[in-house]
Amino acid sequence: MTEVLKILILEDSPYDAEEIMRRLELSAKFECGFRLAMNKATYLQALDEFCPSVILSDHSLPQFDSKEALTIARELFPDIPFIMVTGTISEEFAIDMIKAGVDDYILKDRMTRLPAAIIASVQKRKVETERRRLEKEREFDRNNLMALINNSNDLMWSVDLNLRLITSNEAFDRVIQNMTGTTVAKGCDILAEVFQPEQLARFRKYYERAFSGECFTEIEHTPLPDNIWSEISYCPIYSGDFVSGVACFSRDITQRKMVEKEIARAIIKTQEEERNYLGRELHDNVNQLLAAAKMLLSVAKHNIEKIPELIVACQDNIENAIQENRKIAQGLVVPDFESISFQEQLLNLSDNMLKRSGIQVIMDTSGLQEEWLQNEQKLVIYRIVQEQFTNIVKHAGAGLVYVLLCNTPDEFKMNIFDNGKGMETETKKEGIGLRNIRGRLAIFNGTVDIRTSPGKGFTMDVTIPLTI
């Protein structure tokens, strides 16, 4: 042993105490320091001040004995070895003391075994202490794991190859209780009759797939009575090389499904509104220009002298129709963010739409890290900017537009302000442009906030979460 053992000797005979110390010092098997206690008072003081590694106790002391000394030691230091070093005692008494917690006993006329007994007792106590520590850690881990499992609203359970329940968490137990009216028990049939026959057949196939060694996830819909959507994962449990059961995890995704439906409806609505918008643009602009050109050609057939003049007018109308068609096409083409950066695309958009209309533009992208944005998010933001620029050109009567874009890894924010005539939001119905913007943002759980009033300009604040 490399450590220094602090040995407390409880002995009322100085001669016997000296003999014990002499024998231990001569053994040369370990280093040790000593403290002598000759009565209860000095024993208690030594326990407090000396903090011994081992206690060697005589049995009989004036008004004090080894039984009481052992009781005190076990209350204060339950892991310290306690060895009796005493005169002749009966075998029956020795057995009683060992049952009470004494690690060993040595007769004073046979102290040759004392060093080995000390080493063995210290090592035994170390093993026991480590075992208890590991057991406490395992118990803590088990309790912690059970707390995590049972505080979850997700369902967890496992079944054996006979489709009998092995174990389950409290959330699973509550659901089965609500469905069947009975308390779930280990060993019961997992395919409760409360399920519809087609559901039972599907679940049976799921378990059979997992029994074959496949790990997978399925979506289940229970329309009645609660219209619940569940995402259920099945994972084989192996005993050696063989599957002995299946661990299952079920998460309620009803809310997610509802959101997905809302997003799908928003996408469809946005697409329909864009089709309507495109149809009106073609009808009101391109179609009217082409119709005018056709009419002029008809006039030219009967007015030969005006043919040169009419042809020029037709050419103007056709050129305008081409320009209108080009503008519509440019609005529909998806920007290439790989070859041209997102910031450059936005600057080009502001130049083509606002600056050409005589509107001053200030665009601040100093806080924008476009590498944190997905291309799909960039496209949505681009279309929103495009939509708002169109609204500004057509309706705002603005002379200045300020655009601020910034983001963190978690959130994107955009502010578009114009100093135009503004609008009365409480009385004016929201137009197709703003409805399109809200529809696009719904795809990414984004939000838009409008601040405007007559004569006070128009401000749009857009927020998109970048992590889900």
Q: Does the structure show a pLDDT above 60 at 332? A: no
Q: Which of 242, 190, 247, 239 is nearest to 215 (CA)?
A: 247
CA angle 267/270/273 to nearest 5° reads: 150
pLDDT band at 301 (very low <50, low <70, confident <90, very high): confident
Instruction: Give the pLDDT of residue 98.
Output: 85
Confidence band of 267 (pLDDT split at 50, 70, 90): low
Instruction: Please answer whether residues 30 and 23 qualify as being in contact, where contact means their C-beta atoms are separated by less than 8 angstroms.
Output: no
Mean pLDDT lowest among 123-127, 298-302, 312-316? 298-302
Predicted confidence at residue 376, as pLDDT, reads: 87
CB neighbour class for 224 (10 Å; exposed up to 12, middle 13-18, buried from 19): exposed
pLDDT of residue 275: 66
Segment 118-126 shows an average pLDDT of: 89
Give the dihedral sign, CA 191/192/193/197.
negative
Three-class DSSP category at 347: helix
| pLDDT tens digits, one per residue of 396-405 | 999 999 999 9
* Per-residue model confidence (pLDDT) at position 276: 65
Share of the chain above pLDDT 90, in %: 29
Q: Give the relative orientation of helices 375-391 and 342-353 as an angle to the nearest 10 degrees.
A: 10
The angle that helices 66-76 and 91-100 make with each other, rounded to 10 degrees, is 20
Q: How does strand 411-418 pair with strand 458-465?
A: antiparallel
pLDDT at 224 over 70: no
Residues contacting 214, CB < 8 A, separation 6+: 234, 236
Q: How far is Cα 229 from Cα 258, in angstroms, rounded to an integer?
A: 10
* Per-residue confidence (pLDDT) for residue 362, from 0 to 100: 94
DSSP element (H, E) containing 426: none
Of 105-119, 186-200, 209-223, 238-252, minimum mean pLDDT range: 186-200
Q: Confidence band (pLDDT; 50, 70, 90) for 31?
A: confident
pTM for the predicted model, two decimal places: 0.42
Overall average pLDDT of the 18-43 stretch: 86
Q: Please, which pLDDT band fits residue 143 given cuts at 50, 70 and 90? A: confident
Q: Please, what is the average pLDDT of the chain?
A: 84
How far apart are alpha carbons 75 and 78 in whole angstroms? 6
Please report which residue ranges of 189-306 form alpha helices under DSSP H: 197-211, 254-281, 288-302
Tokens 């039984």 correspond to what residue? 67
Question: What is the pLDDT at residue 329?
Answer: 59
Identify the burial level of 267 via C-beta atoms within 10 angstroms of its C-beta, where 0-12 means exposed, 13-18 middle and 19 or more buried: middle
**447-452 and 104-107 beta bridge pairing:** unpaired
**Strand ranges in 113-179 using DSSP code E only, listed in sequence order:** 155-160, 165-168
Token output for 87: 């005169």
Average the pLDDT over 412-441 and give the result: 80
Amino acid 328: pLDDT: 61
Structure tokens at 238: 């192996």
Give SS3 for 233. strand
Q: Where are the beta strands (DSSP E) in 11-77?
A: 32-37, 54-57, 60-61, 64-65
Between 151 and 72, name the one with better pLDDT: 72
pLDDT at 278: 65
Per-residue pLDDT for 165 more than 60? yes
The reply to whether omega before 236 is within 30° of 0 (cis) is: no
Q: Which of 106, 142, 137, 141 is nearest to 121 (CA)?
A: 106
Would you give the end-to-end CA distance of the chain in angstroms?
A: 58
How crowded is residue 117: how many other Cβ atoms within 10 Å of its Cβ? 19
Q: Which positions ≥6 away from 12 have C-beta within 8 Å?
A: 38, 39, 58, 61, 62
Determine the pLDDT at residue 327.
Answer: 63
180: closest CA among 192, 171, 189?
Answer: 192
